[in-house]
Amino acid sequence: MPRDVSIIIPVNNEEGNIIELCFKLSKVLDPLALDHEVIFVEDGSSDNTYANLLKMHDQDKHVNIIKLRDNFGKSAGLSAGFCYARGKVIITMDGDLQHDPEDIPFFLDKINSGYRLVNGWKKKESDDSLCKRIANSIFKILMRLIFRIRLNNISSGFKAYHIEDIKNITLREGLHRFIPVILKNITSICEIEIKCGRRNSGKSHYSWKKTIDVCRDIVLLLFRRSHVLRNYSIQDKIEIIKFHP
């Protein structure tokens, strides 16, 4: 059954954040009187993330789960969420509490005003390391010079889309950072400032290897290599699907 809004949240080893995040989402979304669903994509966690998701699924009719067979990364998690989302509007966010659900109405306002992609930007970073901030600054400059994308944080995980723009995209690993580049010819894009939260538990998944991977992906996109996986089915990576009707 179609929904008004789908919130897609890939998670890996976020057992200490799941329950609080669900309560925060309910506090924001329930008063909006929108038919919504929250899709958690469990990406091969080694802690109790999945167990906590099952608890919330049993308690909250809006919480749905896609469990991947292994740790395939954020791009696979988002692709799985896009594939099964039923909302007319898709909002993606991180599961570590650094993205505040209270910002969701601002994304919806921009989508309702006619924008096809809304990008969230943290003007003030929370607990990001100096190395990550430097890498993000370099990434932003390269995006502006090479792809003419003038966003302050193109790789932000907090974004909103129309379902028809994003539904059939299956991303090769790492290319979730480049969705505005992939969609730039079919979307009108705006950026909003979002709150800067702090994770309660767990640790950042950032590493210098990711910076190297980003540089590789820039080269691939620059030479117009495929940004999707051909002859590839995201269903092959899915172990369990738990959706409320």
Task: Write down the mean pLDDT value for the chain.
Answer: 86
In DSSP notation, 61-114 reads TTEEEEEESS---HHHHHHHHHHH--EEEEEE--SSS-S-GGGHHHHHHHHHTT
pLDDT for 196 beyond 70: yes
Contacts of residue 23, Cβ cutoff 8 Å, sequence gap at least 6: none
pLDDT at 170: 76
CATH topology classification for 3-242: Spore Coat Polysaccharide Biosynthesis Protein SpsA; Chain A (3.90.550)
Tell me the whole-structure pTM to 2 decimals: 0.87
Which residues are bridge partners to 36 per DSSP?
A: 5
Instruction: Report CA torsion sign: 198, 203, 209, 214.
Output: negative
pLDDT average, residue stretch 182-202:
78
Residue 161: closest CA among 232, 100, 219, 81: 81
Report how far residue 96's alpha carbon sits from residue 90's, in angstroms, rounded to the nearest whole number. Answer: 19
pLDDT digits (tens, 9 = 90+) for 97-121: 999 999 999 999 999 999 999 999 8
Q: In the chain, what are the domain boundaries?
A: 3-242
Using DSSP, state whether 12 is helix, strand or coil.
Answer: coil
Q: Indicate the range of 11-25, 59-73, 229-243 predicted with least confidence.
A: 229-243
